[in-house]
Structure 1
Amino acid sequence: MTEIEDIPLSVADPEAAARFYSGLLRRRPLEAGPDRAVFVLAPGRTLSLWRAVAPASWQNERDVEFRMEAVSSVDELHIDWWDRGARILLPPMDMSGGRGFLARDPDGNRLRVFAAG
């Protein structure tokens, strides 16, 4: 049996979040509606954007990790995401074992991008 890793994120407006992530991920959602949107990130890995039903103060922030193949793609993706409205918390930097940056989506979820190098 194939296991699917789903990354669920709480968002205020799944349709607006789907438009935001469509730009970042450069793909359309597999499913999108007023209560949920789903993106396939890789075979067996999905990102689900669920309408938040609890007050924002009750929501836990989530981290989503995006592993890049090449260290050079980290800087390129940083510029692209900046242009598409992601809030950059930490700019690209060399870290032990690679390079990465940290961004935040409009709903406050943290997006970690890195490549081993």
Structure 2
Amino acid sequence: MTEIDDIALSVADPEAAARFYSGLLRRRPLEANADHAVFVLSPGRTLSLWRGGEGLSPAQVDFPLAASAAVDELHIDWWDRGSRIVLPPADDDGGRSFLARDPDGNRLRVYAAA
């Protein structure tokens, strides 16, 4: 049986969130309407944006990359696309990473392991 890794985020406005993620991910959603949107990130891995209630805690989505240079390149790209950068690229014991937030406060961690 094939297992699907579905990342589900709660958002206030799925259509607005879909436009935001379309820019960051450089792809259109597989499905989008007023209640939810779905992006295919890779075979068997999806990102679902669901209309959620107020007061829900923000989630975190990790975006692993192959190299530290790719982290820096994506940081510049996301900055140019209007992403809110919380922590700029930095090295730590685990590798190189940066942290951004989507319009709903969900954390987006981009990293390359050392």
1:13: Cα distance to partner?
A: 0.8
Provide TM-score, normalisation by structure 1: 0.94
* TM-align CA RMSD: 0.8
TM-score computed with the length of structure 2 as normaliser: 0.96
Instruction: Write the letter of the residue equivalent to 2:113.
Output: A
2:111 pairs with one of 98, 101, 114: 114
Correspondence list, 1:44-83, <5 A: 44-52=44-52, 54-55=53-54, 58-83=55-80
Write the distance in 2 (CA, Å) between the matches of 1:91 and 1:73. 14
**1:36 is matched with which residue?**
36
Counterpart amino acid of 1:86?
S
Which position in structure 1 is the counterpart of 2:10?
A: 10
Residue 97 of structure 1: how far off its partner (Å): 2.6
Which amino acid in the other structure matches residue 51 of structure 2? R
Q: Distance in 2 between matches of 1:43 and 1:107?
A: 26
- Any runs of at least 4 consecutive aligned residues in structure 1 with deviations exceeding 4 A, and if so which? none
* Unaligned 5+ runs, structure 2: none
